[in-house]
A and B are shown apart, each in its own frame.
Chain A
Amino acid sequence: MSKDVVTVDSLVKQYGQLMAVDGISFQVYEGEVFAFLGPNGAGKTTTVEILECIRPLTSGTAHVLGYDVTRNEDVKEIKKRIGVLPQEFCALDKLTVKENIALIGDMYAKHLDIAEVIKLLDLEDKTNEKFENLSGGLKQRVGVAAALVSDPQLIFLDEPTTGLDPKARRDVWAVIANLKKLGKTVFLTTHYMEEAQTLADRVAIINKGKIAVIGSPQELISQYGGLKVLKICGGDKKLAGLLQKKYDKVALNGNGDVLVKIDDVDEFWRVMTTLTDIKVGKDIEIQTPTIEDVFLKITGARITEEGELK
């Protein structure tokens, strides 16, 4: 197993009665993209900011790059070595893209060439544009650039795509995928299922201050995602009734599609044979479960676009 970059053990953060983080333990491994997936108020930012050494913890331990976040001398070392995109990142409005990135860079003993970072994030056209004139997606990219400029080993990205339109979101995803190629360790938080599934090597599902499960998207899906589903588009009650006689898990969805859950390849072929026998000439799709199904299974809820539990 690779080296731990972040090690958290029984971490608790309490605000009065509220357990914002309720005894979580996990590791982040070197070179991976690790995602915290959870709804609003789950405790994502709280955890991340404890690791960034800007929030004190209530109990438990947290180590970043081998340093203890509660020791003052260690905090200095951690701050030198991490890059951060805070939630709702903002920079100085009247400064340009270049000036803002350089400002963050100058806070470190040494930093990457600003022009190179700008190029890496494809911000060359906007180099001398004032921050206030940028679109949301471009602002996020400046934020990622600022997180990268000190050439950190570990990068925290707190909800990097929240509030972005789908195009801008995909652009940021490309940037994050690129970070992994550069050998960085990335700790990402999100409430977008697709984001976690697409980008993360491992996902921790966090809800109400507790981590429900941790694993690679594939592991989680195969363990919790449930069965694949065969969808017979535009089927009808008659067909559903017919299939129900032979198979247990048949349902009709709102669009009038017949859904049949299948356990394995054998079952798939049996269903297909049945369909051929009764000469059903409909489109047939196979649906694989996603992280969303995992989330639903584990928490009993979905997350809306805005990040609320539903």
Chain B
Amino acid sequence: MKALTIFKAVTKNWMRSRSGLFFSILFPVLLLIVFGSIFSGIGGSSQYRLFIQNFDLNTANGELSDLSKAFIQALNSTEAFGITDIPAGENATEYAREVLGPLGGNMRILQISEGFQGDLLNGTLKVRIGIIYDTIQYFEPYLTSEQKMAVMQGLTQIQQFNASIPDAKASLMIMLDPADQSAAMVKSIVMSVANAFNYELIGAENVVEFNETSVTTKRYSNVDFYIPGITAAFIMTNGIIALTATTTEFKRRGIIKRLSITPLTKLDWIIGNVLSQTLLNLLLTGIMIALGWVIFNVRVIPDVLSIVLILLGSIMFSGIGMTLSGFIKDVEAASAIGNAIAFPMMFLSGTYFPLEIMPSYVQAISKALPLTYFSEGLKHAMIYQNPEGVYLNMAIVAVLAVVFIIIGSLVTRWKEK
């Protein structure tokens, strides 16, 4: 009960503080808008940009083959792609780079080779997909074991297929950037379209309808990744910067002392503060998701796991904040130290840039940072809807939450010296 009173009081006090609101809510919102816009184009749909270069011409009239056009049509109808054509005479990568511009995002090029129609008309499953693609290891942690199995199986099949027709060239070639977080998704959509196309041509019955395939394939964009990333980062700063600063301020101004003279216990004080942080963080998450929805047309649906994770993260970072303020006397030092810890952590935990593209020593450091596990877990829960990817991260966050909340309570002084 008293914890609830404290919760209400500190929350109200925070809600009425403009700088508090700015740093805890408005700043992350601005950041999401800025990051989201740079990397996806504001108002843009969540389609993957895909360049297609079609080399399959009719020998008779020199025009693009009907089946290759139909294939592109099929890709288009998935609505998963924003397709840009590259004329057959151009150097595909240079052309794409030019179109994309300096901040244009990931390069994904599908080349339809000469002989695509011919292969299909031979009535076999001979359409083969070659992938210039080494991101499978990179993407591995994001996949469930089932997905992994499927991918591996698919790859093996392709290889076997390749082996069975040694001389044939791949009639579809897809080029992807290893740093592209959506590479696996793009690849799998193209593959499923190609498969559906094959099946339909050979008249196979009861094959999963193409449209359904595309529906079950969830589409992601960069904004998807920034929503849990930025949310996690600011749940971290709310604990490590904001809570540290306010607690130090409360301590310095004797507010904690004033409360400690009443029958209020230290435990109730701590619970009240953690509850307040949790509410603030749920609010932040809600706003970030709503923003993704309204501005970027991205639908992230938080499930129970995400909410539990946010609760645990709030406890963990509140614990860290309380631990810090146990050792700090003045408010300026509190925010300086909070910033000095929070900002490097933000960038070293793969919040803004995927860890996979970071140097290995950064990856090693990231393993020691609580935010890494929290933001990874949140990505799995909110974006990949992949519970298996959540559990380990969640367990680590839970353990750290317990550890820090205990240290935080021990160093919170309820008595003078």
Residues in chain A within 8 A of chain B (CB atoms): 15, 49, 52-56, 76, 79-80, 82, 84, 86-95, 99, 103-104, 106-109, 130, 146, 150
The CB with the most chain B CB atoms within 10 A, among A15, A88, A95, A107, is that of: A107
Tell me if B254 and A94 are in contact (CB < 8 A): no
The verdict on A106 contacting B5 (CB below 8 Å), with A54-B415, A54-B416, A55-B415 known, is yes
Tell me the chain B residues, 254-281 only, with Cβ under 8 Å from chain A. 254-255, 257-264
The stretch among B12-20, B76-84, B339-347, B383-391 that forms the contact with chain A is B12-20
Chain B: interface size category:
20 to 34
CA distance A108 to B416 in the complex (A): 22
CA distance A87 to B417 in the complex (A): 16
CA distance A184 to B255 in the complex (A): 25
CA distance A58 to B16 in the complex (A): 43
Tell me if B258 and A91 are in contact (CB < 8 A): yes
CA distance A90 to B253 in the complex (A): 6
Across-interface contacts of B12 in A (CB, < 8 A): 94-95, 99
CA distance A224 to B377 in the complex (A): 75
Across-interface contacts of A104 in B (CB, < 8 A): 258-259, 262
Residue of B nearest to A82 (CB): B261
Residue of A nearest to B416 (CB): A55
CA distance A180 to B351 in the complex (A): 62
The verdict on A54 contacting B263 (CB below 8 Å), with A88-B254, A95-B13 known, is no
Flag whether B2 is at the interface (Cβ < 8 A). Answer: yes
Chain A-chain B contacts (Cβ-Cβ < 8 Å), number? 74
CA distance A119 to B417 in the complex (A): 37
CB distance from A71 to the nearest CB of B (A): 14
Residues in chain B within 8 A of chain A (CB atoms): 2, 5, 9-10, 12-17, 253-255, 257-264, 414-417
Residue of A nearest to B8 (CB): A103
- Residue from A52, A86, A108 within 8 A of B254 (CB atoms): A86
Tell me if A92 and B255 are in contact (CB < 8 A): yes
Tell me if B255 and A54 are in contact (CB < 8 A): no
Tell me if A92 and B9 are in contact (CB < 8 A): yes
CB distance from B202 to the nearest CB of A (A): 71
Other than the given A54-B416, A93-B13, A95-B9, 11 more pairs (CB < 8 A) read: A49-B416, A79-B261, A80-B263, A86-B254, A86-B261, A88-B253, A90-B254, A91-B255, A94-B15, A99-B9, A108-B262
The verdict on A107 contacting B262 (CB below 8 Å), with A55-B416, A90-B255 known, is yes
- Residue from A55, A89, A106, A130 within 8 A of B2 (CB atoms): A106
The 3 closest A-B pairs by CB, nearest first: A107-B262, A94-B16, A90-B253
Across-interface contacts of A103 in B (CB, < 8 A): 5, 9
Across-interface contacts of B254 in A (CB, < 8 A): 86-90
CB distance from B256 to the nearest CB of A (A): 10
Tell me if B258 and A90 are in contact (CB < 8 A): yes
Tell me if B261 and A55 are in contact (CB < 8 A): no
Tell me if A76 and B261 are in contact (CB < 8 A): no
CB distance from A151 to the nearest CB of B (A): 13
Q: List 15 A-B contacts (CB under 8 A).
A: A54-B260, A54-B414, A54-B416, A84-B258, A86-B254, A86-B261, A87-B254, A90-B254, A92-B10, A94-B13, A95-B12, A95-B16, A106-B2, A106-B5, A108-B263
Tell me if A79 and B416 are in contact (CB < 8 A): no
Across-interface contacts of B258 in A (CB, < 8 A): 84, 86, 89-91, 104, 146
CA distance A90 to B249 in the complex (A): 11
CB distance from B378 to the nearest CB of A (A): 30
Across-interface contacts of A15 in B (CB, < 8 A): 417
CB distance from B270 to the nearest CB of A (A): 15
- Residue from B10, B15, B261, B414 within 8 A of A84 (CB atoms): B261
Tell me if B13 and A92 are in contact (CB < 8 A): yes
Across-interface contacts of B14 in A (CB, < 8 A): 94
Residue of B nearest to A103 (CB): B9
CA distance A88 to B417 in the complex (A): 18
